[in-house]
């Protein structure tokens, strides 16, 4: 065959074989279709929970991306191209032509991303800790080198992360630290404080609701118990006619059921309120905690130290009180030891010579011993006579302690003392009672008698010459020393804070501390001023009440004109002094509130005053005390002569013994009781004023605790979460329904019609069907659990459990659908457990919601492909044509 013929022959062969060409192309196409369409995929049997599936990506840097990365030039220098990164790592890996050693990211954004770089880049990443660069790949490396560089990559990722914790804010950045601290303080004292107030208000309301619920539930429980007992007895009796009793029980049931529903509503309301209140507080606390965690670590460390210090400050204050009071006592005793010594000796003589003894109010302890606490110091029954008297059990102890301390002062040994300021007060009070009152005592018939001590004149002389001076000067010196102790708390607190700030690397702000402490001192001083002036004025008002009672009684002895000042004029004079004290107190308080805070604010409020700011000394605590004390103490010049010179000789039935003690008759004491009471009230008021003069405050430990506690802008401590409410779980018990006692359940169609299974099977897309149970005929209830018999119905139907058990025993359940034996068995078991088939429907329908697959689609494509392939194959099997 020549060339032309071969060419023509080739052409003819192509034309002849075109069917095979089409057949081959179709075969390849359908093979690909079958290959991708016949993947075996099955439905997921696990219910979807909405969780996402993490996809692992391997990032490969393209040539364009590589332009944005820092690369190492042959000469070792870096190019200017940089890849700026944020908190989310989106870096890829530059892969060279030789990709055998390349490593991709295992997880996007992870700090464990494996990146391979050359040694030069690694060295640069070590030295330049702040560089925002991404290591790149330039040469293949070994596995060991790659592991080492993976670690370097982790370190670089940590350094490039955005600041999210306390350590991320540089401690040296003063502005950042100040802003974070101020943000925390503003929120703590603002929104969080408001949230705390609101939560407390809600807590009070919830507590009220809980109390009301508990009271209602207690009443309900009691009524329910009675009802249940009566119902049990009712249902056990099957012989008598109980129509009326059942009616009454049904009515009781209705009432209890209503109460039960009301209790359930109350409980739901309370628990809802608890949930809402807790959620609001939790949100505020979480914000506060977040702001605290944003503080620099140095501030948090200081806060921890401050918190520990504040927790122990109460014990520190208690120790300081003991030291301060001892020091104040020694200082006051040392100022005028002669006056104290003379008063002690005179009082000792009076107590030893007294035959009528003053009985102190006593207490009996658990072991049977008798004690008495007088002005803060406790005394015991030393002679075992079952009572505490000044002459036997109190004054001897006071005299012994004071003499020992006076001796120590003389010798210059002040390391330890036995006495105290309360003993000075006891000594003064004893002299006042002896000199200015008729001592009370208990008579044989239980009434109160009165006796004037034979030592009254001696006591009056000691008071006028030594006793009053000792009390006033001692209390003044004592108070001054305590005042200096309070003032000294600033230096103590400042030293503590400086030490804490120095240890934690913080800068101590002197000006801020001064302002914070002065503000706290001002608040404390105003509170002390208010408490002290109120107490002093209250003492005077109580005394005036005694004077008013004496005036109103129209007592002849009280209305005498034989004295220098008539007793009836004392009440008005005292009222004038009280009015002046109130006016000064009001003026002083208003002035103190407007005065600027200072480190001597308490001294100004207590005694020194500040004329420049309008605080006169008469309006200070000491000024108000002095005005009232001078007036009240002067009343003794009237009451003391009244008792010794007039009252003592006015009772014709009084008895005077050889020691000079005058015992008044019972009738005389009853007739002139207001006079005796007024004299006793005067002596007690003067003593109380002496005590108040030396106190500074009635809670010295509390004052010192407040002043020594770190507060204000320095109190940046870990926030404490308050104790939250828990929901109430004490639910009420529902009442039982009234049933007939003589109802007998029988296996009879008249009593119960056998339920049958519906033959309607619903398609659940799995080729299965399920049964529907319906009730029988008559007025019997269905198996639906939502249907309940009426409370008063005498023909109560059997329970679901009982009905199901009966039906199961009969074996009357039928299956209408062919091949559904297993389904019928499940339905029967469901009835035996007392469950409604209505509950099973959602479970069966749930199968419809399972994710569907393309399994049926794959089968369809397979069949279609085989048909098409067969058709194309048939086209290629035609007879070969002869061509020339």
Average pLDDT, the chain: 74
pTM summary value: 0.59
pLDDT of 842 reads 41
Helices 700-708, 468-487: inter-axial angle, 10-degree rounding = 20
Q: With contact defined as beta carbons under 8 Å apart, do 327 and 485 qualify?
A: yes
Q: What is the pLDDT of residue 881?
A: 52
Distance, in Å, from the CA atom of 359 to the CA atom of 372, rounded to the nearest integer, reads 10
**Could you give phi then psi for residue 276, rounded to 5 degrees?**
-65, -45
pLDDT band at 262 (very low <50, low <70, confident <90, very high): very high
pLDDT at 792: 40
Q: In sequence order, what are the residues at sequence separation of 6 or more whose Cβ sits closer than 8 angstroms to the Cβ of residue 882?
A: none
Query: In this predicted structure, what is the pLDDT of residue 27?
Result: 64
| Lowest pLDDT segment from 85-94, 328-337, 639-648, 650-659 | 85-94
Alpha helices of 294-394 — where are they, by DSSP H? Answer: 297-335, 337-353
Decide if 615 contacts 588 (C-beta within 8 A): yes
Distance of CA 28 to the CA centre of its chain: 76
φ, ψ of residue 748 in degrees (nearest 5): -135, 145
Cα-based distances in Å from 401 to 295, 466, 471? 57, 19, 17
Instruction: Please write the tens of the pLDDT for every residue from 633-667.
Output: 999 889 988 988 889 889 999 998 888 888 999 89
What backbone torsions phi and psi does residue 561 show, to the nearest 5 degrees? -110, 15
Tokens read off for 87 = 């908190």
Please state the rounded mean pLDDT for residues 520-543.
Answer: 95
Tokens of 96: 């060279």
For 658, counting Cβ atoms within 10 Å of its Cβ (0-12 exposed, 13-18 middle, 19+ buried), the class is: exposed
Question: With bands split at pLDDT 50, 70 and 90, how would you rate the model's confidence at 273?
Answer: very high
Mean pLDDT (whole number) for 387-398? 93
Residues of the chain with pLDDT > 90, as a percent, come to 41
Q: Residue 426 to residues 326, 398, 478, 698: CA-CA distances in angstroms?
A: 17, 8, 16, 18
Task: Evaluate if residue 728 carries a pLDDT over 60.
Answer: yes
Distance CA 220, CA 222 (A): 5
The whole-number pLDDT of residue 82 equals: 38
Placement of tokens 């003492």 in the chain: 539
How does pLDDT run across 558-588, given as a tens digit for each residue? 999 888 889 999 999 999 999 999 999 999 9
What per-residue confidence (pLDDT) applies to 812? 39
Q: Which two tokens stand for residue 544?
A: 């005036």
**By CB neighbour count within 10 A (0-12 exposed, 13-18 middle, 19+ buried), where does 97 fall?**
exposed
| Cα distance between residue 538 and residue 383, in whole Å | 38
**In this predicted structure, what is the pLDDT of residue 193?**
92
Task: Determine what percent of the chain is predicted with pLDDT higher than 70.
Answer: 64
Strand order in the sheet with 363-364: 363-364, 370-374, 377-380
Assign 742 a pLDDT band (cuts: 50, 70, 90). Answer: very low
| CA dihedral over 229, 233, 236, 241, signed as positive or negative | negative
pLDDT at 860 over 90: no
Per-residue pLDDT at 544: 96
**DSSP helix/strand/coil, 662:** strand
| Lowest mean per-residue pLDDT among 124-133, 457-466, 726-735 | 124-133
Check residue 822 and give its pLDDT.
46
For the segment 449-470, the average pLDDT, to the nearest whole number, is 89
Mean pLDDT of 661-678: 92
Residue 713: what pLDDT? 82
- The gap from C-alpha 20 to its chain's centroid, in whole angstroms, comes to 88
5-19, 189-203, 756-770, 869-883: range with highest mean pLDDT: 189-203
Q: What pLDDT is stored for residue 859 in this prediction?
A: 64
Q: What pLDDT is stored for residue 442 in this prediction?
A: 73
pLDDT at position 232:
85
**Which pLDDT score, from 0 to 100, does residue 363 have?**
86
Q: Is the CB of residue 868 less than 8 Å from the CB of residue 29?
A: no
User: Of 156-170, 380-394, 663-677, which range is least confident?
Assistant: 156-170
- In 3D space, the residue among 75, 66, 133 whose CA is nearest the CA of residue 95 turns out to be 66
Comparison of pLDDT for 132 and 358, the residue scoring more: 358
User: Which tens digit of pLDDT belongs to each residue from 201-215?
Assistant: 999 999 999 999 999
Contacts of 188 (CB under 8 A, 6+ apart): 288, 291, 719
Tokens of 454: 């034979």
Three-state SS string over 685-745 comes to HHHHHHHHHHHCCCCHHHHHHHHHCCCHHHCCCCCCCCCCCCCCCCCCCCCCCCCCCCCCC
875 or 199, greater pLDDT: 199
pLDDT tens, residue by residue, 112-146: 443 334 444 444 444 444 334 334 334 444 444 44
Comparing 161-165, 212-216, 253-257, 506-510, which segment has the lowest mean pLDDT? Answer: 161-165
- For residues 381 and 393, is the Cβ–Cβ distance under 8 A? yes
């Amino acid at each position: 065959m020549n060339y032309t013929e071969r060419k023509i022959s080739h052409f003819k062969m192509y034309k002849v074989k075109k069917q095979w060409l089409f057949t081959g192309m179709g075969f390849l196409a359908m093979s690909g279709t079958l290959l991708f369409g016949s993947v075996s995929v099955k439905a997921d049997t696990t219910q979807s929970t909405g969780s996402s599936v993490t996809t692992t990506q391997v990032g490969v840097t393209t040539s364009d991306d590589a332009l944005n990365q820092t690369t190492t030039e042959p000469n070792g220098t870096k190019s200017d191209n940089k890849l700026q990164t944020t908190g989310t790592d989106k870096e890829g890996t530059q892969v060279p032509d030789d990709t055998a050693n390349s490593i991709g990211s295992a997880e996007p954004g992870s700090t464990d991303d494996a990146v391979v770089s050359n040694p030069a880049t690694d060295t640069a990443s070590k030295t330049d800790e702040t560089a925002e660069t991404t290591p790149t790949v330039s040469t293949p490396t070994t596995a060991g080198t790659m592991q080492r560089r993976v670690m370097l990559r982790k370190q670089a990722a940590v350094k490039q992360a955005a600041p999210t914790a306390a350590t991320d804010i540089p401690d040296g950045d003063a502005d950042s630290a100040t802003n974070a601290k101020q943000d925390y303080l503003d929120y703590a004292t603002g929104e969080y404080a408001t949230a705390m107030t609101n939560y407390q208000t809600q807590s009070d309301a919830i507590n009220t609701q809980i109390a009301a619920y508990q009271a209602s539930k207690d009443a309900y429980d009691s009524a329910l118990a009675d009802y249940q007992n009566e119902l049990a007895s009712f249902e056990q009796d099957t012989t008598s006619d109980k129509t009326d009793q059942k009616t009454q029980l049904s009515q009781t049931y209705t009432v209890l059921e209503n109460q039960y529903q009301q209790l359930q509503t109350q409980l739901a309301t309370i628990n809802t309120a608890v949930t809402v209140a807790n959620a609001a507080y939790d949100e505020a606390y979480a914000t506060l905690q977040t702001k605290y965690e944003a503080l620099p670590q140095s501030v948090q460390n200081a806060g921890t130290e401050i918190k520990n210090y504040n927790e122990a400050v109460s014990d520190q204050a208690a120790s300081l009180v003991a030291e301060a009071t001892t020091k104040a006592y020694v200082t006051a005793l040392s100022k005028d030891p002669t006056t104290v010594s003379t008063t002690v000796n005179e009082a000792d003589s009076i107590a030893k010579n007294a035959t009528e003894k003053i009985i102190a109010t006593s207490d009996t302890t658990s072991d049977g011993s008798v004690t008495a606490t007088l002005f803060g110091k406790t005394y015991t029954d030393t002679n075992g006579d079952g009572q505490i008297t000044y002459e036997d059990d109190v004054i001897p102890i006071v005299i012994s302690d004071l003499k020992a301390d006076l001796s120590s002062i003389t010798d210059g040994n002040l390391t330890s003392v036995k006495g105290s300021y309360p003993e000075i007060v006891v000594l003064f009070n004893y002299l006042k009672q002896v000199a200015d009152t008729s001592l009370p005592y208990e008579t044989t018939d239980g009434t109160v008698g009165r006796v004037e001590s034979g030592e009254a004149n001696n006591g009056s002389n000691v008071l006028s010459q030594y006793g009053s001076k000792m009390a006033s000067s001692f209390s003044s010196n004592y108070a001054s020393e305590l005042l200096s102790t309070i003032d000294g708390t600033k230096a103590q607190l400042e030293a503590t804070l400086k030490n804490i700030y120095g240890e934690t690397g913080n800068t101590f702000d002197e000006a801020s501390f001064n302002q914070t402490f002065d503000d706290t001192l001002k608040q404390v001083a105003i509170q002390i001023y208010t408490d002290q002036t109120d107490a002093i004025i209250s003492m005077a008002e109580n005394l005036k009440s005694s004077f008013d009672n004496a005036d109103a009684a129209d007592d002849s002895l009280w209305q005498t004109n034989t004295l220098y000042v008539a007793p009836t004029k004392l009440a008005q004079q005292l009222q004038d002094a009280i009015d002046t004290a109130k006016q000064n107190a009001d003026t002083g308080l208003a002035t103190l509130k407007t005065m600027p805070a200072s480190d001597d604010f308490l001294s100004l409020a207590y005694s020194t005053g500040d004329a420049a700011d309008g605080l006169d000394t008469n309006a200070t605590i000491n000024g108000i005390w002095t005005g009232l004390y001078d007036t009240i103490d002067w009343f003794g010049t009237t009451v003391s002569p009244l008792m010794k010179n007039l009252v003592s000789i006015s009772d014709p039935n009084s008895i005077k013994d050889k020691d000079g003690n005058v015992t008044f008759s019972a009738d005389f004491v009853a007739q002139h009781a207001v006079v005796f009471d007024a004299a006793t009230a005067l002596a007690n008021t003067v003593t109380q004023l002496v005590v108040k003069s030396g106190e500074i405050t009635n809670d010295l430990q509390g004052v010192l605790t407040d002043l020594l506690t770190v507060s204000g802008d320095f109190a940046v401590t870990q926030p404490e979460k308050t104790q939250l409410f828990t929901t109430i779980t004490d639910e009420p018990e529902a009442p039982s329904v009234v049933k007939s006692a003589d109802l007998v359940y029988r296996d009879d169609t008249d009593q119960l019609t056998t339920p049958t299974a519906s033959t309607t099977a619903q398609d659940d897309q799995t080729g299965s069907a399920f049964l529907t149970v319906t009730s029988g005929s008559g007025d019997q209830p269905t198996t639906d659990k939502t249907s309940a018999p009426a409370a008063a119905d005498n023909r109560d139907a059997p329970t679901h459990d009982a009905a199901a058990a009966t039906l199961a025993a009969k074996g009357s359940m039928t299956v209408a659908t062919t091949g559904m034996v297993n389904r019928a068995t499940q339905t029967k078991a469901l009835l035996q457990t007392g469950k409604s088939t209505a509950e099973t429907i959602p479970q069966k329908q749930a199968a419809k919601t399972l994710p569907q697959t393309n399994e049926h689609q794959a089968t369809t494509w397979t069949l279609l492909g085989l048909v098409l392939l067969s058709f194309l194959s048939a086209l290629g099997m035609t007879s070969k044509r002869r061509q020339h």
